[in-house]
Amino acid sequence: MRVLETHGGVVPVFIPGHADQTSTSTSGTSAAVSLNNAYIVRLHATEDCFVKFGDSTVTASASDMPMDSGIEVFGVPSAATHIAAIQSSTSGTLTVTPIES
């Protein structure tokens, strides 16, 4: 869905898929969760972490994509079925919410 803003630009509107929302704890060991066949995901990290998209065997390390605490929206790579996360320095939680556009 797209909505026109007052200056004629297009603003994407996202519909959350709360029923498919998953979370994983970020610690010193990589943990992965399913993306539930999503094409776009909203990630909410309570602490800085590193994330990596992949298949069911994906593991994250400190050399993967850094994600600051907060919220980011990502398109899911075509072959990815899972996302893995590992803490940067403090343990926290990564919540993954599939969204539709």
Tens of pLDDT along 10-53?
A: 666 667 665 678 899 999 999 999 998 888 999 999 999 999 99
Mean pLDDT of the chain: 87
CATH code of 81's domain: 2.60.120
In a domain, 87, yes or no: yes
Per-residue pLDDT band at 99 (split at 50, 70, 90): confident
The sign of the dihedral angle between the CA atoms of 32, 79, 44, 1 is: negative
Structural domain total, the chain: 1
Q: What predicted TM-score, i.e. pTM, was given to this entire model?
A: 0.82
In a domain, 25, yes or no: yes
In a domain, 3, yes or no: no
In a domain, 47, yes or no: yes
Strand blocks (E) in the chain: 2-4, 10-12, 15-16, 22-26, 31-34, 40-45, 49-54, 65-67, 70-75, 82-87, 92-100
